[in-house]
Amino acid sequence: MLKTVKSFRIELIVIGVLALIIVALVISLAVLARRNNTLSQELNITREYIYEMLLAYTALEDENQNIRNELRELQNEFEELWAEHLPDPMHYRAIQHILDIAPERLRYVFDEDVTLNDPEDFVTLPNNRILISGQWVDAHFETTHTLEAIFGYHEQNDDIWISLRSYSPFGWDDWRYPWESPNQHSWVRYHELDVVPVRFYGMGGNWDDTWYNVEYLNGENFLEELAYHALSHLNRLIIDAWFVDSILYVNLHHSEPMRMSSGTFGEWAMYSTLVQSMSSVPDIDALVIMVDGQREVMIGGHGLPFRDIYLIN
């Protein structure tokens, strides 16, 4: 009987231990299952985040590709525009030749040493011309003055030929032509007479219907008054005039050849009245008419040129 009770107790203890083990296992499995569920949820969240990042990366990559394509198109357009507006290589060769010869050429005609500005300050003009700028020093008065000059260029046998067309030693409105190398001391914009009578001619509808009006110009303000009366009587735009000894130079606005185009008789009337009027300036032996600093310019459409020089009889 005692043995049976003792055996029963042992069985109860074994059953209790087993129960505890089972409970521990159940609890462990529950904790493990919960942890596994939590990890599974976190893994799903991570997968969704990675998927969203991949979508965002793909979108950014597509946007970057579009930007690269747009940049490539803009670069192609820029290169096309640059190619269209890129000056002729002859232009650069001409500038280099001008930089090489301009100081000596200007020294020859101007009788003063000249320092040129940077080529970036040069201006490209129509008809293969380049306007350059610089400074010269008046040693007598110890003053510095601006100098501008227009050089023409053309290509012949793969060489660039440069020629000085006109220059202005005192400012943009004081142009002169470098013939026979006159220097600045013989070049003036006033008349020696205090009162300068000038005939401004007009012409009617036939060759014989001609008249003139006399205007008395102030010799000290000769240029300003000559330009004023030429516009008033002749409808001609004079932008500058000066004397080299007894030679009168008259420089017309660049638009004058086109403005004077009006048929054979009309062109002749405007041409002849201008030449006769300027020739009537007293105390001159010759007249030179230029257009925008150039001589031998044709006016209108019927072959009337401003000849090299008009001798006054």
Which H or E run includes 195? strand 195-203
Cα 101-104-109 angle, rounded to 5 deg: 120
Instruction: Summarize pLDDT for 50-104 with one digit per residue, the tens.
Output: 888 888 888 888 888 888 888 888 887 777 765 555 556 777 888 888 888 888 8
Nearest to 94 by CA among 161, 42, 142, 19: 161
How sure is the predictor about 180, in pLDDT bands with cuts at 50, 70 and 90?
Answer: very low
Given a cut of 90, is residue 281 above it in pLDDT? yes
Neighbours of 184 (CB within 10 A): 17
Output the DSSP codes for 136-180: EEETTTTEEEEEEEEEEEEEETTEEEEEEEEEESS-TT--B--SS
State residue 181's pLDDT score.
47
Give the contacts of 137 (CB within 8 A, at least 6 positions apart).
112, 113, 143, 144, 145
Given a cut of 70, is residue 286 above it in pLDDT? yes
Terminal Cα distance for the chain, rounded: 173
pTM attached to this predicted model: 0.46
